[in-house]
Each structure stands twice: as C-alpha cells, then as structure tokens.
C-alpha cells in the first residue's frame, strides 16, 4: 500500500525484513479486494437460463455409491453477495527482537451476473462492496478504516479505498469454475500470476470419499535473489452430502522439496487447508473456511523465526440480507466512486516475495 511502509517503520529498528513482513501482513487484510483478481451451460424450460443443469446424484439402478455432479449455476441479471472475514497475524523474531503484525477485515464480495455464453460459461462483474479493516504493528497505534463511515482513508489505505465499490474485473468462468476470460478494469491492476477465483469442480460426477486435484505454482525469492518456482496442489475430497449441500475438504500440498527456511517462510502463506460447503441445487458456494498456522525457524539466521497464522471465512448472504445491503450501499456510496482506479492486487502478490529479502 502506498504510504503504509512509512507507518510500519515508525517505532522499530527491525530493518528491511520486518518492514517487508509488515507489508505482507497489512496487505493481507485487503485480500478480500485482491481476491477479485485471483483467486475461485445449458438452458432451462420457460426461458430460465442457468450455467449448467442442476447438480444431481448419478447412480445406476442397484449400484452404490451415488455420484453427484457439481456445477456452478447462475441466472443472468442476478447479484450474489458473500460476507468475507479475513484475519492475519505474522510474528517475527530476528536477532532477539520480536515484532507482531495483526490485520483483520470484514467485507462484502459481489458478483453481478451479466449473461451466459452459448457454451454455458457465465460472464459476471466482480467487486468489493464495502470493507471494514484494521492494522496493528506492535509498538505502534492501531490504524482503522471503514469504507461506509470514513469519508477519507487514513495514510496508507488509499489503494484499499479506491478499490471499494467499483468493478474490479469482468470474468468468464465455465461450469467447473475455470476462468475462461478475464478483463481487468485497469492495466495497473494486473498481477504477475493469476489463478482461480473460486473452487474448481470435478469434470466427472463424484461419490462421497472421492477426490479431485488442482495443480498450482507459486514463485518465491531465494536469499541470493533467484526466483524459485514451487509446485503445489490443492486436493479436494467430497466428505458428505446432506440436504443438497456438499461438504468438501480442501488440503494444500507442497510438491517441490524445500530445504531453505527463507523459501519455506514465503511458501507457507499459500498452504491453506479448510472446508467448503457447496449448494448443489443452487450451484454455488454457500460457505467456506480456510486456515494457515505455520512456524518456520532459521529463515534469517539460526535463531530467527516466523509464525504465520491466517483465517479466511466466506458466507453467502441470504436474499433478504442482499436486498438490505444493496439499498444501504446505494444510499451511502457517492456516485463518483465508479471512476476510481485500483492498483492493489499486483502489490499483494509482490508483498509475499519481498517478505524474506
């Protein structure tokens, strides 16, 4: 965030390492905004268009177990909102000095479905409707920003403020959640690497206990400045289906062997595990919770250590809550907000690579 480095530097002689860790942690509070860039067809009788036929159980007569087809499903013109809570804490110890950076945010993520393509892919606009966030570095005063109540953001939160209430991107995803097309709203908002914006779904129907995988890759920086590509894999398991809702367990596996603590300290922030609840009938995520709690020793000298703890929660708003939020948001946000640019997402990706330089 522009200006936030100066805030993090006050009251500490921890050096470039802690300032970089602080940047990563403070930017993490704005991940609900940045996630708009990263990331998780068929028609129906009567003119109702949907992204895919309703997920349904597949089972040949006399055979077990039942299998379920999981597909994203949307209706042109609908607006979908999720309440998002993100909490992050990074505690570093270097040369006997310990610093802790804590961030927390509550936001509303919005998808506005524009149309369905002939191949069944859905085109929608993504935005963050509002955000309430705080940032605290040990030894410094806590900084807060609420987009609904604060007319001006505090120093260092300008990027967050400019990214609220505006279209961040127009995306096209297929029924399995793959990003087919992504149109950034500003050139500067592009990130070095962009992945899925929602949970990937299996190509074939799955039974309880079956798994599907999504390979990924992150780029981190070694102590000598070399860029290292680390292969990872998200593994999803269908745990159960109850009253039309699939409970899915997610694990993140690091496939590339890592022997350098400086590299490991950067990779752990991507190694989240959690649980997703997917509404098969509605064809969308109802809720999800992912967590990271990792401790790395020796990333900057034998006695140095870093502990990275984060929790991300998302819950689909009810129809009544959506209507109330839409009315309140329209009344409180100025009409000029749609003209604001945003540069935040690219900087979020960069912060993780800077943390151990």
**What's the rounded Cα separation, in Å, for the pair 179 and 198?**
9
- Cα angle, residue 311 at apex, residues 310 and 315 outer, rounded to 5°: 155
Q: Are 36 and 171 contacting, i.e. CB atoms less than 8 angstroms apart?
A: no
Q: What is the pLDDT of residue 57?
A: 53
Q: In the block, which residue shows the tokens 């967590």? A: 291
Nearest to 312 by CA among 17, 8, 12, 31: 31
Q: What is the pLDDT of residue 186?
A: 55
Give domain limits for the chain: 4-354
Q: What is the pLDDT of residue 137?
A: 95
According to DSSP, residue 17 is labeled H
| Chain center to CA of 201 | 17
**What's the rounded Cα separation, in Å, for the pair 210 and 204?**
11
Q: What is the greatest pairwise CA distance in the chain?
A: 70
**What's the rounded Cα separation, in Å, for the pair 6 and 2?**
9
**Joined tokens for residue 27:** 């930017």
Q: What's the pTM value of the predicted model, to 2 decimals?
A: 0.73
Local confidence pLDDT in tens for the 357 residues of the chain: 433 333 223 333 334 443 444 444 444 444 444 444 344 433 333 333 343 344 445 555 556 789 999 999 999 999 999 999 999 999 999 999 999 999 999 999 999 999 999 988 999 999 999 999 999 999 999 999 999 999 899 988 888 899 999 999 999 999 999 999 999 885 444 333 334 689 999 999 999 999 999 999 999 999 888 999 999 999 999 999 999 999 999 999 999 999 999 999 999 999 999 999 999 999 999 999 999 999 999 999 999 999 999 999 999 998 544 444 444 444 444 333 333 333 333 333 344 344 344
**Torsions phi, psi for 346 (to 5 deg):** -60, -35
Helix (H, G, I), strand (E, B) or coil at 285: strand
**What's the rounded Cα separation, in Å, for the pair 84 and 109?**
7
**What's the rounded Cα separation, in Å, for the pair 160 and 154?**
10
**What's the rounded Cα separation, in Å, for the pair 156 and 354?**
18
Q: What is the pLDDT of residue 341?
A: 32
- Cα angle, residue 169 at apex, residues 3 and 335 outer, rounded to 5°: 70
Helix (H, G, I), strand (E, B) or coil at 5: helix
Q: What is the pLDDT of residue 224?
A: 87
- Size of the chain, expressed as the number of residues it contains: 357
């Amino acid at each position: 965030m522009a200006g936030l480095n100066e805030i993090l530097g006050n009251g500490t002689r921890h050096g470039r390492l802690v300032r970089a860790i602080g940047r990563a942690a403070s930017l993490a509070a704005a991940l609900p905004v940045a996630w708009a860039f990263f990331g998780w067809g068929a028609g129906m009788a009567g003119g109702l268009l949907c992204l895919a036929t309703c997920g349904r159980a597949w089972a040949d007569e006399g055979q077990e177990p039942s299998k379920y087809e999981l597909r994203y499903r949307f209706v042109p013109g609908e607006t979908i909102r999720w309440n998002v809570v993100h909490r992050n804490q990074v505690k570093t110890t270097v040369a006997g000095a310990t610093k802790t950076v804590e961030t927390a945010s509550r936001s509303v993520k919005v998808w506005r479905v524009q149309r369905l393509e002939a191949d069944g892919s859905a085109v929608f606009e993504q935005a963050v409707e509002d955000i309430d966030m705080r940032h605290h570095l040990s030894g410094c005063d806590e900084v807060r920003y609420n987009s609904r109540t604060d007319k001006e953001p505090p120093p260092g939160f300008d990027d967050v403020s400019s990214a609220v209430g505006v279209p961040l991107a127009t995306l096209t995803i297929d029924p399995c959640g793959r990003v087919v097309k992504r149109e950034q709203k500003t050139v500067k908002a592009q990130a070095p690497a962009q992945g899925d914006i929602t949970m990937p779904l299996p190509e074939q129907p799955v039974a309880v206990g079956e798994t599907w995988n999504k390979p990924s890759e992150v780029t981190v920086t070694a102590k000598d400045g070399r860029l290292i590509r680390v292969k990872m894999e998200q593994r999803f398991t269908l745990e159960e289906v109850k009253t039309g809702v699939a409970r899915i367990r997610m694990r993140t596996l690091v496939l590339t062997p890592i022997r350098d603590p400086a590299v490991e300290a950067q990779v752990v922030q991507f190694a989240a595990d959690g649980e997703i609840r997917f509404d098969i009938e509605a064809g969308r995520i109802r809720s999800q919770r992912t967590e990271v709690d990792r401790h790395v020793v020796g990333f900057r000298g034998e006695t140095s250590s870093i502990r990275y703890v984060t929790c991300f929660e998302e819950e689909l708003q009810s129809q009544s809550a959506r209507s109330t939020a839409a009315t309140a948001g329209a009344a409180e946000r100025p009409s000029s907000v749609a003209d604001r640019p945003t540069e935040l997402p690219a900087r979020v990706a960069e912060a993780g690579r800077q943390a151990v330089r």
